[in-house]
């Protein structure tokens, strides 16, 4: 028997953080899935225990200010792309307004820390979203291109192929074959 799951990762992350942090009897607020505000001072031993416990679950505490800003850039880009109600403004304007820094500063910092550009990260995230839309929704490539503010389906297809090595149509065919194969193996 196969079980197919839909996961709300934000809920899952918050639940894990709450369960683990509650064991330390400290007051905190989970601001978002990547930011926790402690409402009281935490001694070094408790901090190290929290860090060790969170590491077991794949969390890493970021202490370098540059890395914190880069993480916020990544989160903002993901929010911008995956949010159904995100305003359709240029990504440079959106990032600068959301993070209260000039786009030039954010772009230089991002490149310095990650060795890639914000534009490349945006393309990768968009293609991940395209794959999700192709996999889980019944949208045409035209609808997807429009939804993600691509100038044309050709532009979307070109970026998809440059990023994944295959066209969106080939990706759809592979998924169809995989689903056919899976359903044959179930029966």
- Same domain for 134 and 123, yes or no, is yes
Residue that the structure tokens 């691509």 belong to? 150
Element (H, E) at 18: helix 9-22
Domain extent at residue 187: 119-187
Number of independent structural domains in the chain: 3
Residue 86 — pLDDT band, cuts 50, 70, 90? low
- Same domain for 53 and 73, yes or no, is no
Structural domain includes residue 1: no
Q: CA 81, CA 159: separation in Å to the nearest integer?
A: 15
Structure tokens at 17: 């953080």
- Same domain for 16 and 55, yes or no, is yes
Residue 139 — pLDDT band, cuts 50, 70, 90? confident
Model pTM? 0.71
Whole-number Cα distances in Å, 106 to 46, 123, 127: 33, 17, 22
- Structure confidence at residue 96 (pLDDT): 93
**Is residue 156 a contact partner of residue 148, using CB atoms and an 8 Å limit?**
yes
The more confidently predicted of residues 85 and 7 is 7
187: pLDDT strictly greater than 70: no
The rounded mean pLDDT for the chain is 87
């Amino acid at each position: 028997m196969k079980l197919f799951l839909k996961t709300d990762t934000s809920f899952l992350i918050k639940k894990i953080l709450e369960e683990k942090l509650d064991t330390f009897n400290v007051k905190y607020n989970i601001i978002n899935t990547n930011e926790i505000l402690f409402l009281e001072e935490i001694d070094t031993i408790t901090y190290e225990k929290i860090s060790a416990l969170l590491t077991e679950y794949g969390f890493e505490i970021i202490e370098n200010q540059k890395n914190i800003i880069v993480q916020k850039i990544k989160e903002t880009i993901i929010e911008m792309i995956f949010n159904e109600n995100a305003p359709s403004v240029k990504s440079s304007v959106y990032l600068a307004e959301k993070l209260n820094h000039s786009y030039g500063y954010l772009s230089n910092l991002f490149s310095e820390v990650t060795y890639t550009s914000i534009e490349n990260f945006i393309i990768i995230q968009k293609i991940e979203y395209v794959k999700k839309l192709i996999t889980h929704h019944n949208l045409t490539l035209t609808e997807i291109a429009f939804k993600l503010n691509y100038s044309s389906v050709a532009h979307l297809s070109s970026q998809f192929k440059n990023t994944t090595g295959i066209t969106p149509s080939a990706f759809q065919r592979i998924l169809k074959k995989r689903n056919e194969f899976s359903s044959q193996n179930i029966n």
